[in-house]
Structure 1
Amino acid sequence: MARAVRFHRIGGPEVLRIDPVEVRQPGPEEVSIRVKALGLNRAEALLRTDRYIESPQLPSGLGLEATGVIEAVGSQVRGFAAGDAVSVLPPTSMREQPTHAEQLVVPQSRLVKNPPGQSWADAAATWMQYLTAYGALVQVAGLREGDFVVITAASSSVGLAAIQIARRVGAVPIAVTRRSAKRDALLQAGADQVIASEEEDLRSRLLEITGAAGARVVFDPVGGPIFEALTAAMAEGGILIEYGGLSPEATPFPLFEVLSRSLVLRGYRVYEVLEDAERLQAAKAFIIDGLADGSLRPVIARAFAFDDIVEAYRYLESSQQFGKVVVTL
């Protein structure tokens, strides 16, 4: 038996429980992992409130990320052995393969070895954010040197990963955050410019920064009314990549802006990368190289104990954090 985070009803963080669950032996191409740390994501809160791309089947587990030590391997596992420090890549179904537990059994295809010396907290804060940002910015948008890229929710773990990736390829990251309290931290994190959307006119500031060139790429998990300001400052043929839906307000379709500048509005999920072996291999190589040369550096907002999982999610959903919220075991 092992302990796992589950919820038996839809609701806020208070519905989360730590339940004992049975742990099976690994199959021929699977490994058993003793978990050392977890990374938290907004997607898990969406599943818990039944607003995710899949609905939970109660009682439901949750979780997209984990890192730990391999305890046992199946008979056909190659390249991994007991004692290896590994991270679990996000599953295609959080409902069917949740990660928030003391022990996991996962296919070897969903594993990546941790870089030598990487801390458990950093490992838990690596793969979801960098895979999401790399797949969207580099593989979908083709972000390149000199491009202006607008990054909303910039103080989130994915937002900070996007800033770092933009800098690594020579692009110019413009961070958008709600209030100016995080301005200095975002500049120190690599943002070229910071806009506080609740204190400044977003459209005017974007046009002031990008000038006639406009922003070729916009990377947004929010949606809602902000679309109008974002598209008004985009370059001819620019692409807006939407990877969330955090705004409770309706998202307008900016028809005139799309028509007048031939804009592309593109929905995106990290599973586009995870389900394509060639794209996943390229993403892994980029991320591992970036971790090695220091251009990619996970930012940890705060670490919580496993028994404090409710408080960890309350903190995540308060939007106070700067970077990744992790849970250690």
Structure 2
Amino acid sequence: MRAIVCREYGTPEDLVLDELPDPTPGPGQVVVTVRAAAVNYPDVLLIAGKYQIKVPPPFSPGSELAGDVLAVGDGVDFRPGDRVSATSFVGAFAEQALVDARGLARIPDGVDYADAAAFGVTNKTAYYTLRTVAPVTPGDWVVVLGAGGGVGLAAVDIAVLMGAKVIAAASGAEKLEVCRQRGASAVVDYDREDLKSRLKEITGEGGSQIVLDPVGGRYSEPALRSLGRGGKFVTLGYAAGSIPAIPLNLVMLKGITVQGMEIRTFATDYPEQLPRDDAELAQLFADGRLRPYLGARFPLEEAATALRYIADRKAIGKVVIDVSRA
């Protein structure tokens, strides 16, 4: 099979397209013929050796995929030919992927492979946050930083669906127009406008109730300052490349809650809410009420370009790699 391989830590341009042996499933495992794989910012960090968890090279990056079951090991409730989506820490950027059967989900009828591959990680991150970590009440002002990216745009979609008034903050007119089309009540170009002033102007004296921040850097503090009394600030990642220092006097004076959310530990932190959140999100997907916005698609041979697209913050919504076609 063909696969994108990280032979040593480096940049997207250091990746190679290589021929690897076809995988064989063991007990509890499934081999999937990959039709589509989604690209996420942590993939960029993983190949650079800068993610919280390091994967020793060589490895094939990619954590989200969709395709057809090719072979199964013992004790697996799937059959060859089943259409499935899957999450796996690495291995998605390949024509075949060996995955734990517990990470598989059946693709609903009428859903294509690209949507199925791109839906899971970003929408789960946003849904877990807005349903459980910082629960939204209809009418709340919800500020989403990095609103043009994968997690950000998923958060816009979900907050709108929950009845919130969403302020989408991103860089560039194209990203902001997509946010408007997805239902944002207001938009702010934080590379051209003063974020603190604009948020205060939009929300008035009451301020915002929730801030979702997958970006970090210089945008975090002005967004924090936009919160009203008792508001909640959720940090989800640092796509801007730097981890901000939060002035704790603001937290004290406004009674603000600052909390982190990471998808890998959500099940441990919220074991009772996880089944509910997953079931609700799956139903929204099956019903067609939530779909990822696919901003760009690349063939497997151009996986490095896809990763560079993410690294340089050019992506709008999700970036998908078309690995092979049915």
User: Into which bin does the TM-score normalised by the smaller protein fall?
Assistant: over 0.9
CA offset at residue 119 of structure 1? 0.9
Relative to the length of structure 1, the TM-score reads 0.92
Taking the aligned partners of 1:290 and 1:297, their CA distance within structure 2 comes to: 9
Q: Tell whether the 8 Å contact from 1:131 to 1:273 is kept in structure 2 after alignment.
A: no
Taking the aligned partners of 2:53 and 2:306, their CA distance within structure 1 comes to: 23
**What is the aligned partner in structure 2 of residue 64 from structure 1?**
63
**What is the aligned partner in structure 2 of residue 326 from structure 1?**
320
Relative to the length of structure 2, the TM-score reads 0.93
- When the two chains are superposed, the root-mean-square deviation of aligned CA atoms in Å is 1.8
| Amino acid corresponding to residue 19 of structure 2 in structure 1 | P
Taking the aligned partners of 1:104 and 1:250, their CA distance within structure 2 comes to: 34
Equivalences for residues 108-187 of structure 1 within 5 A:
108-187=101-180
| Amino acid corresponding to residue 299 of structure 2 in structure 1 | A
**What is the aligned partner in structure 2 of residue 38 from structure 1?**
37
CA offset at residue 189 of structure 1? 1.4
Equivalences for residues 275-286 of structure 1 within 5 A:
278-286=272-280
CA offset at residue 277 of structure 1? 6.1
1:147-206, CA deviations, whole angstroms, 9 ceiling, x for partnerless residues? 111111101121111111111111111100123343222101111110011111111111
Taking the aligned partners of 1:193 and 1:100, their CA distance within structure 2 comes to: 36
Task: Count residues with an aligned counterpart.
Answer: 322
3-state SS in 1 of match to 2:259: strand
Stretches of structure 2 that go unaligned for 5 or more consecutive residues are: none
**What is the aligned partner in structure 1 of residue 7 from structure 2?**
8
Q: Tell whether the 8 Å contact from 2:34 to 2:94 is kept in structure 1 after alignment.
A: yes
% same residue: 34
CA offset at residue 274 of structure 1? 5.1
1:259-280, CA deviations, whole angstroms, 9 ceiling, x for partnerless residues? 1012122121111335566544
| Displaced runs of 4 or more, over 3 A | 273-280
Q: Tell whether the 8 Å contact from 1:44 to 1:62 is kept in structure 2 after alignment.
A: yes
Equivalences for residues 282-301 of structure 1 within 5 A:
282-301=276-295
Query: Which range moved further: 306-315 or 40-49?
Result: 306-315
**What is the aligned partner in structure 2 of residue 84 from structure 1?**
82
CA offset at residue 242 of structure 1? 0.9
| Amino acid corresponding to residue 137 of structure 1 in structure 2 | L
Taking the aligned partners of 2:24 and 2:178, their CA distance within structure 1 comes to: 45
Taking the aligned partners of 1:105 and 1:167, their CA distance within structure 2 comes to: 36
Structure 1 counterpart of 2:190, from 190, 193, 197:
197
CA offset at residue 28 of structure 1? 2.5
